[in-house]
Amino acid sequence: MTSPPARVVDTGIVAAVTVSGLASDSDHQFIVESIRAYLNENARHKTKPMTADKGNKS
């Protein structure tokens, strides 16, 4: 099982991603490829990535 932290520049660790079932290096590569695909899809559609709700109700 692999659970690397997800870090944001100028913010720090915001999450941990857990995946299991493959060899450790393959688990890590799966996470990296999945996050890249998610970010590329959002960029392609020019949408903002999902963000955490910080309790700001407008």
Instruction: Tell me which residue of 38, 6, 8 sits closest to 19, measured CA to CA.
Output: 6
The two tokens of residue 31 are: 């996470």
Predicted pLDDT of residue 48: 65
Q: Which residue has the higher pLDDT, 20 or 57?
A: 20
Q: How many beta carbons lie within 10 A of that of residue 55, not counting itself?
A: 5
Predicted pLDDT of residue 49: 62
Q: Tell me: pLDDT of 13 over 90.
A: yes
The two tokens of residue 12 are: 């720090």
Residue-wise pLDDT for 25-56, tens only, equals 899 899 889 989 988 888 777 766 666 665 55
pTM of the entire predicted model: 0.61
Predicted pLDDT of residue 58: 47
Task: Provide CB contacts within 8 A for 30, sequence distance 6+.
Answer: 19, 22
- Residue found by looking up tokens 């890590």 in the block: 28
